[in-house]
């Protein structure tokens, strides 16, 4: 295959079949220098940003939603073209106006209806009527859910399941559109379809044939969508601007078609860099122009919106999109994948201001160029807006062209997809086991019925025996529930646009999750090393605990308790694997909760670690707050012991620190942050969210101390916990750090 658009590229296997990785490998130019070449925003960018900010303010004033098109079902070609400003460089909006939300009822009509109503809108009669005759994913799931599945969901043992909304977490390889053009992709899919058609028509093959039909159909619609904006994407992109535009069209189409929980972007900056370098060599693009293109792409990504209910937003902590873009990393030949465009992507945080979206994720390796490491640390210090994940760990499992979906879920771009599985609440499961099959918050009878444990003092061995029975039961139920959900999602809300940008022979992962890891770990440690006496109500149900004596706590680099957490992940993963997953998916596991740790806590009774009923959990794999006595690195050491081999869907850790605690001078802070990241990842840790607290966050911590339990401030010679300081002292710290009195 040969296209004129490929002139100037180094030849390779990528020309004889879809292979973006090979294209990157043959053509990219690693960059080991610093960020001094970067350019600021152009006047055009400033104008676009001002318009975006104006609309965003308006959106806030209107209670979080600017406007809703209640009479159109969101799809690729259902809206007229929309623009942020007339001079948009990268074009395309989800609806006909910026920040206007479309409705997407394919996941579930109820979610769409109540989301409209929550913001003062009414779903049009036309859509309501259409969906009385059409089965949604949500309808399908509830047709098959067993009573036990419903009960587990009701008492929040299984939570956040994607049974009423789009599962997301699928990353189309949007780069394929730029490299090959739609026509070539259609031709390849047609060949695949022909080949599948030669097989015995098993259920699997019939389903795959229908899916391929839909994929081909939607590739055609994608072309039409681009045409509405005046672009012909049937052929490959010929310039950097086109490459970014073609790629973005793919993402936009996915976002129009799916209201997915996490709609990630992939790993694009080094891919774009190849086109930018070529344009620069041809003399048709300069640095200012290159940055402007990346800035405009990012601004368009920041315009992405989905219509969701306030309850959904409570569960996920805000109105997140998780447009994750993975940056950096090393390739399999130990050469860095960092390019100038990796810097440009991070530079958008300066040019457009800090923002949580797109979710910029640096793939960290000890071997990354030092100048890039320092630049990342500087951006973290200035903006709080980067998360880091271990490229060394992930590369060994996923190769060198993987990307992150959502926060921590790695998958090979275009070669693996994921069935998202939310999470189960382990602390609640422990309480359920101790109470022998009754949930002590909801009163639900569920699981094997054994009655509450009758011991005066809980015995570790006996508790573990029980726990294992309940874990075995739960894991089977969890896999089965997921199998129902994803069967129905494939059937009624299949992601044809995104799957068209995957290999036909895709590998599937089923991603399970746990919440409350630190709570169950410390609770089991308390039972093992201290004296835990159950407190019962009149009916004999255990509703609280008296814990006498001290016990080792997770987060202090103490192997006695850290081993309990390690063992828990292994145990859960092994149990899950015993029940086959839908479509032969591989079982993976994560310890990830982001902000819903507060919600999990609300629904969970008192635990033996001393946490009272309703009190929040620690997020993700974080140790519980106020239990660390050896400082932040001891806490990082505890987390880094958790085995990625058993939790390859990710182990999330949130790390908050104020600039003063990172060192005295700006330069020291950057160097020390690099040392912390290097040390943490050398210890085989997987992920870290770095919060170098800025003024806003510190003020928020002042107003909402419950959200910042671990915030430590260090001054010479000793450390104090921010939230433990008196209000007056907190004000003093804020004033001192940011020259602002409150």
Residues that bind another protein (CB under 8 A): 557, 629-635, 637, 660-664, 668-669, 671-672, 675-676, 678-680, 682-683, 714-720, 725, 729, 732, 736, 739
Is 406 one of the catalytic residues? yes
CB of 703 to another protein, least distance (A): 21
Question: Residue 669 or 686: which CB sits closer to another protein?
Answer: 669
From the list 116, 376, 406, 484, the catalytic residue is 406
Using H for helix, E for strand and C for coil, what is the string for 57-83? HHHHHCCCCCEEEEEEECCCCCCCCCC
CB of 702 to another protein, least distance (A): 16
Question: Residue 227 or 714: which CB sits closer to another protein?
Answer: 714
Question: Residue 84 or 692: which CB sits closer to another protein?
Answer: 692
Neighbouring residues of 319: CB distance < 8 A, sequence distance ≥ 6? 64, 305, 306, 308, 313
CB of 728 to another protein, least distance (A): 10
What phi, psi does 514 have (nearest 5°)? -120, 145
Neighbouring residues of 210: CB distance < 8 A, sequence distance ≥ 6? none
Question: Residue 366 or 571: which CB sits closer to another protein?
Answer: 366
Question: Residue 303 or 676: which CB sits closer to another protein?
Answer: 676
From the list 303, 407, 475, 484, the catalytic residue is 407
Rg, Å, the chain Cα set: 26
Task: For residue 289, give the nearest of 88, 41, 32, 31 by alpha carbon.
Answer: 41
- From residue 461, how far is each of 143, 447, 465, 467, 518 by CA, in Å? 41, 20, 6, 10, 19
Other C-beta atoms closer than 10 Å to the C-beta of 191 total 12
Task: For residue 103, give the nearest of 165, 160, 58 by alpha carbon.
Answer: 165
Question: Residue 21 or 553: which CB sits closer to another protein?
Answer: 553
Neighbouring residues of 155: CB distance < 8 A, sequence distance ≥ 6? 428, 439, 441, 442, 444, 446, 603
Question: Residue 612 or 724: which CB sits closer to another protein?
Answer: 724
What phi, psi does 106 have (nearest 5°)? -65, -30
CB of 25 to another protein, least distance (A): 30
Is 484 one of the catalytic residues? no
CB of 367 to another protein, least distance (A): 13
CB of 637 to another protein, least distance (A): 6
Task: For residue 73, give the nearest of 218, 257, 260 by alpha carbon.
Answer: 257
d(CA 705, CA 626): 12
What phi, psi does 356 have (nearest 5°)? -75, -20
CB of 364 to another protein, least distance (A): 13
Question: Residue 65 or 636: which CB sits closer to another protein?
Answer: 636
d(CA 35, CA 341): 10
CB of 733 to another protein, least distance (A): 9
Neighbouring residues of 558: CB distance < 8 A, sequence distance ≥ 6? 552, 638
Distance of CA 417 to the CA centre of its chain: 14
Peptide bond into 437 cis (omega under 30): no
Q: What residues are annotated to the active site?
A: 406-407
């Amino acid at each position: 295959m040969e296209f004129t658009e490929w002139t100037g590229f180094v030849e390779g296997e990528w020309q004889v079949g879809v292979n973006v990785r090979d294209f990157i490998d043959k053509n990219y130019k690693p960059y080991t220098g610093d960020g001094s070449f970067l350019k600021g925003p152009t006047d055009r960018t400033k104008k676009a940003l001002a318009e975006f900010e104006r609309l965003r303010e308006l959106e806030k004033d209107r209670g979080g939603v600017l406007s809703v098109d209640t009479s159109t079902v969101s799809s690729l070609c259902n809206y007229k073209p929309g623009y942020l400003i007339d001079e948009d460089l990268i074009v395309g909006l989800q609806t006909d106006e910026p920040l206007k939300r479309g409705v997407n009822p394919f996941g579930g009509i109820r979610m769409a209806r109540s989301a409209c109503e929550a913001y003062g809108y009414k779903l049009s009669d036309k859509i309501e009527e259409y969906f009385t005759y059409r089965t949604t994913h949500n309808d399908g799931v509830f047709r098959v859910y067993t009573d036990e599945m419903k009960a587990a969901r009701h008492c929040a043992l299984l939570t956040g399941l994607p049974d009423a909304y789009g599962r997301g977490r699928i990353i189309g390889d949007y780069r394929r559109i730029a490299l090959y053009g739609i026509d070539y992709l259609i031709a390849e899919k047609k060949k695949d379809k022909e080949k599948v058609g030669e097989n015995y028509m098993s259920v699997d093959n019939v389903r795959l044939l229908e899916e391929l039909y839909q994929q081909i159909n939607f590739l055609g619609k994608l072309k039409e969508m681009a045409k509405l904006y005046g672009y012909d994407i049937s052929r490959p992109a010929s310039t950097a601007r086109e490459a970014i535009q073609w790629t973005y069209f793919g993402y936009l189409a996915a976002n129009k078609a799916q209201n997915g929980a996490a709609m990630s972007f992939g790993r694009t900056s080094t891919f774009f860099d190849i086109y930018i370098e070529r344009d620069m060599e041809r003399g048709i693009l300069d640095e200012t122009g290159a940055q402007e293109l990346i800035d405009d792409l990012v601004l368009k990504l920041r315009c992405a919106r989905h219509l969701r209910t306030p309850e959904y937003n409570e569960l996920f902590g805000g109105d997140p999109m998780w447009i994750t873009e993975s940056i950096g990393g090393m390739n399999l030949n130990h050469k860095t994948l960092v390019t100038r465009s990796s810097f440009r992507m991070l530079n958008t945080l300066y040019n457009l201001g800090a923002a949580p979206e797109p979710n910029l994720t640096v793939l960290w390796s000890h071997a990354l160029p030092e100048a890039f490491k320092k630049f990342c640390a500087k951006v973290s210090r200035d903006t709080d807006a980067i998360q880091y994940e271990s490229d060394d760990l992930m590369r060994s499992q996923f190769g060198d062209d993987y990307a992150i979906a959502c926060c921590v879920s790695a998958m090979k771009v275009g070669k693996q997809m994921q069935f998202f599985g939310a999470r189960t609440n382990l602390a609640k499961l422990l309480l359920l086991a101790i109470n022998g099959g009754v949930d002590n918050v909801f009163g639900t009878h569920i699981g094997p019925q054994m009655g509450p444990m009758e011991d005066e003092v809980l015995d570790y061995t006996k508790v573990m025996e029980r726990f294992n029975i309940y874990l075995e039961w739960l894991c089977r139920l969890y896999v089965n529930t997921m199998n129902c959900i994803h069967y129905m999602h494939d059937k009624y809300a299949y992601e044809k646009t995104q799957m068209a940008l995957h290999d036909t022979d895709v590998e599937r992962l089923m991603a399970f999750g746990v919440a409350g890891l630190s709570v169950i770990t410390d609770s089991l440690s308390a039972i093992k090393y201290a004296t835990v006496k159950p407190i019962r109500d009149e009916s004999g149900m255990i509703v609280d605990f008296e814990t006498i004596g001290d016990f080792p706590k997770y987060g202090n680099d103490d192997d006695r308790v850290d081993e309990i957490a390690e063992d828990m992940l292994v145990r859960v993963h092994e149990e899950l694997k015993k029940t086959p997953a839908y479509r032969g998916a591989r079982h993976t596991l994560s310890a990830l909760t982001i902000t819903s740790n507060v919600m999990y806590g609300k629904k969970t009774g008192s635990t033996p670690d001393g946490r009272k009923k309703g009190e929040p959990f620690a997020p993700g794999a974080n140790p519980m707050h106020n239990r660390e006595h050896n400082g932040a690195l001891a806490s990082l050491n505890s987390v880094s012991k958790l085995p990625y081999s058993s939790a390859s869907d990710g182990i999330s850790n949130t790390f908050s620190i104020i600039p003063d605690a990172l060192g005295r001078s700006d330069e020291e802070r950057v160097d020390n942050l690099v040392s912390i990241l290097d040390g943490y990842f050398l210890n085989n840790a997987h992920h870290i969210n770095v919060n170098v607290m800025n003024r806003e966050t510190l003020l928020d911590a002042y107003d909402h101390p419950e959200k910042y339990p671990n915030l430590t401030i260090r001054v010479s010679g000793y450390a104090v916990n921010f939230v433990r300081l008196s209000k007056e002292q907190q004000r003093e710290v804020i004033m001192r750090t940011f020259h602002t009195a409150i």
